[in-house]
A = this chain, B = another copy of it.
């Protein structure tokens, strides 16, 4: 069941709150949220519920939800696991619209816990109540002072409201990242932890925060995704609104994935598929917590450059080279300054290196007007969309820092549309001052470059989503096959979906393979055709290269007798006779089902080495031709398709069309198709199309039967 995002409003921005299990002790799970709500400036009513007390933390307390003077929008349950189901029933009886369940001890803990969690989910479903948790740290909405959490990170100080939303399955991770963001001076408006996700998962929380006007960037964390459709919708809406989603997804290693399954009940799909899905729908995948924060920090300005030309200003050659290395690795273009501008800079300081990195040497530290001229020239004449200055620990000195700030302000005035960043190490208050002048500040130069490259990545992703989608081909619905399919049947179904195969003939056992081969044209390939023989070569069921009618006829006889010998029980349709096609680049194309994302299309180069290097990529079905073009370019060996060692460029356009059509077919027949293998697919020289030489389609019922 899909919910409308607005169904979460009572949970995420309530007008009134009941706190079940409210405590006087501000260190306890029932005490912390009340303290935060009292001190955080929440304007609506807050109703402590605690039958043992008249007041809690000085606020009138009620014996029960039933006794409350009004129906609160949300009930926060700070009660032990064993009391949770009853407390939630009480809320449902009072028609409370939403609840937050803190307590652990549910599906993550034991079989009884799992059953109790199912009861919670049932109560939610039956009453139209939305539930966050159980086993979660709750949430906050800093803009309205709503703190429905017992996270200890707020003990020391509240988090300033700001353009960032945090959506985290893990409460501990959500707390940690909020702590780090606060240290970094970043404001967080929305903070939601989803825990065991008996009702609301990361996808739905993400979908909600994307709609909030004050949210510019989302830091998301998950171990897996439950609600695929909402997840994809959330990412697509975010991309259309140019809101950056920076995602940390754990469980990328085998041992990590094992730990995921032992940790929560999250469905762990393939990490490679998740990774590709994030790219496909425009979310950036952070690999480390530090990167999660750095990229979010850069995105919080909402400035995504339209090009990747990157100018580097340095006072020391070594730092400049290091940053140029990093930039190059991240795909930024360290383009040189125009020659004339280089000459002007050189005239100002003969031993400078004015190319890019622009190295004004330590001289610029003692001659700040020179520095100003240099940086101004870079911004005016270099055509750089992104600029970084490298200052090391220089700005840590307060006296020098003020002068440097002034010089940088003068140099960059009028260039507010550029991404301006500085690498420097200085006390927090100095860093904040530079940030207020419009600079992104990073201590580590490599982190700076990586975050700036992420901005370019987001811009490209936003723009790609704006391009008109190529129209989907009318694809056919197929009837659920009654069991396994032969190669010939599989090809026929795919052919109807717009995927062209080389012409071939199915020759029944009593027909003449020689004549069929002559009609096809020599040399040919002769293969057994049987729904019961998936691995044809294992029974000697493929003969390559007959050059005349007699050889073709012999081949057919040989294959049919081998099949009857080795698989007497198999239903034999006959043999397939097809042209022997040579040339082109060997690739593999397939469709598999991912536990999280459903049908996904896989693409890779063929051959033993690719198998070893696992140079394959995925896309969630369906997708259009432009997405297929991006997909194809993701493999490391892509240059092979462009033509190497004198080979002509391959027909990548035709390949992209085929991948897109296959994805539409797979999505359209999701309930019928378990997997498809097209292996090999020869990508012929440009203009000559693609040649899938084999097809295997496993229906879902066949897979479940085996």
A binding-site residues for B, Cβ under 8 Å? 104-105, 108-110, 113, 152-153, 155-156, 168-173, 175-176, 179-180, 183, 221, 223, 248, 250-256, 258-260, 262-264, 287-290, 315-322, 324-329, 334, 350-351, 353, 355, 357, 359, 361-362, 392-394, 396-397, 425, 444-447, 605, 607-613, 615, 636-637, 639-640, 644-645, 647
Contacts and interface: CB of A to CB of B under 8 A. Distances in A.
Contacts of A176: 319, 392-393, 425
Given A223-B321, A609-B609, 15 more contacts: A104-B351, A109-B350, A110-B350, A152-B394, A170-B316, A172-B362, A223-B317, A248-B322, A252-B329, A254-B328, A262-B353, A263-B318, A288-B445, A612-B637, A612-B640
A525 B318 CA distance: 53
Contact of A264 (B317, B357, B392): B317
A266 to B, nearest CB: 10
Contacts of A357: 259
Nearest to A355: B262
Contact of A392 (B172, B260, B425): B172
Contacts of A334: 255
A324 B255 contact: yes
A324 B256 contact: yes
Contact of A393 (B109, B153, B612): B153
16 contacts: A104-B351, A175-B392, A176-B425, A179-B425, A250-B322, A259-B357, A263-B318, A263-B321, A263-B353, A288-B444, A289-B444, A290-B444, A290-B446, A605-B609, A609-B637, A609-B640
Given A153-B393, A253-B328, A263 B444 contact: no
Given A175-B392, A321-B223, A255 B612 contact: no
A624 B329 CA distance: 33
Contacts of A173: 316, 318-319, 322
Given A351-B105, A425-B176, A322 B256 contact: yes
Given A318-B223, A322-B256, A444-B290, A644 B104 contact: no
Contacts of A287: 446
Contact of A155 (B353, B397, B644): B397
Contacts of A153: 393
A392 B637 contact: no
A324 B259 CA distance: 8
A641 to B, nearest CB: 10
Given A264-B317, A444-B288, A605-B609, A259 B353 contact: yes
Contact of A613 (B252, B328, B613): B613
Nearest to A352: B109
A324 B268 CA distance: 15
A54 to B, nearest CB: 28
Contacts of A289: 322, 444-446
Contacts of A613: 613, 615, 636-637
B179 A251 contact: no
A155 B320 CA distance: 24
Given A321-B260, A353-B263, A425 B250 contact: no
A640 B608 contact: yes
The listed residue with most B CB atoms (<10 A of its CB), out of A248, A324, A328, A615, is A324
Given A170-B317, A263-B359, A325 B444 contact: no
A583 to B, nearest CB: 14
A231 B599 CA distance: 55
A319 B250 CA distance: 9
Given A173-B316, A316-B171, A325 B252 contact: yes
Contacts of A355: 258-259, 262
Contacts of A444: 288-290
B259 A290 contact: no
B640 A321 contact: no
A318 B169 contact: yes
Contacts of A615: 613
Q: Top 3 nearest A-B pairs by Cβ distance?
A: A172-B316, A170-B318, A263-B317
A246 to B, nearest CB: 15
A122 B255 CA distance: 61
A109 B363 CA distance: 12
A6 to B, nearest CB: 29
Contacts of A168: 318
A329 B254 CA distance: 10
A644 B608 contact: yes
Contacts of A329: 252-253
Nearest to A289: B444
The listed residue with most B CB atoms (<10 A of its CB), out of A105, A172, A183, is A172
Contacts of A353: 259, 262-263
A262 B287 CA distance: 34
A170 B361 CA distance: 12
A605 B610 CA distance: 12
Contacts of A110: 350-351
A288 to B, nearest CB: 4
A172 B392 CA distance: 8
A488 to B, nearest CB: 26
Contacts of A639: 612
A430 to B, nearest CB: 13
Contacts of A447: 288, 290
Given A172-B315, A223-B321, A319-B173, A288 B256 contact: no
A359 B287 CA distance: 22
Nearest to A393: B179
A644 B608 CA distance: 7
Contacts of A326: 288
